[in-house]
């Protein structure tokens, strides 16, 4: 049931991944799920750059090097994490947004559409048994130095993905009643 899938979705981090590849068939299904996200005026602003193999290593090297360049006091723990997270992952997908050149909708709506595409991917991963984690480090502002981004395209983060073993924690949420105001009370 979709409600159970939504409740079971969790962030699963690269340190938790095991060395099992993700099939092309599964990746195609995950990306197709993203493609069915809603978007105002059908701008379909989601763009994805899929990294496996050497491209993951290049990403890790770029992120750790760029962090050391831009950070006044770089932390060794973060340098190591930026370098290793891509290689610990079976796949890393750069989450990008292509701005509608006509500006037919506000930018926030296109960012929201990309987020909905990622949620579709995340739910699909959950169903398959693949763990994933959306990381949006400040370094994404420099990704035009790594990727050949089209005009109006920007990177919004990375979806780290991998199979994992073991049980995930049961999710916790504060009650929805604390977050809703009923303007007309239903009986």
User: Is 136 known as a binding-site position?
Assistant: yes
User: Is 10 known as a binding-site position?
Assistant: yes
Contacts of 36 (CB under 8 A, 6+ apart): 120
User: Is 134 known as a binding-site position?
Assistant: yes
Q: Which residue has the tokens 């060794």?
A: 76
Listed residue (25, 28, 60, 27) closest to 135, CA to CA:
60
Cα 162 from Cα 155, distance rounded (Å): 21
Q: Let me know how long the chain is.
A: 187
Q: Which residues are annotated as a binding site for FMN?
A: 9-11, 40, 134-136
What residues form the annotated binding site? Answer: 9-11, 40, 134-136
């Amino acid at each position: 049931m979709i409600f159970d899938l939504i409740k079971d979705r969790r962030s699963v981090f690269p340190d938790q991944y095991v060395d099992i590849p993700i099939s092309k068939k599964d990746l195609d299904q995950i990306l197709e799920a993203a493609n069915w996200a809603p978007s105002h005026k059908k701008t379909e602003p989601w763009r994805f750059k899929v990294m496996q193999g050497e491209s993951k290593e290049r990403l890790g090297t770029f992120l750790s090097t760029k962090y050391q360049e831009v950070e006044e006091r770089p932390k060794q723990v973060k340098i190591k994490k930026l370098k290793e997270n891509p290689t610990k992952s079976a796949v890393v997908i750069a989450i990008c947004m292509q701005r509608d050149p006509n500006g037919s909708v506000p930018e926030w709506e296109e960012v929201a559409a990309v987020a909905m595409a990622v949620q579709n991917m995340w739910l699909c991963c959950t169903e398959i048994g693949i763990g994933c984690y959306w990381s949006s480090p400040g370094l994404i502002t420099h990704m035009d130095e790594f990727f050949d981004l089209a005009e109006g395209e920007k990177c919004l983060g990375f979806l780290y993905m991998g199979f994992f073993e073991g049980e995930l924690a049961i999710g916790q949420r504060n009650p929805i009643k604390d977050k809703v105001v009923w303007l007309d009370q239903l009986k």
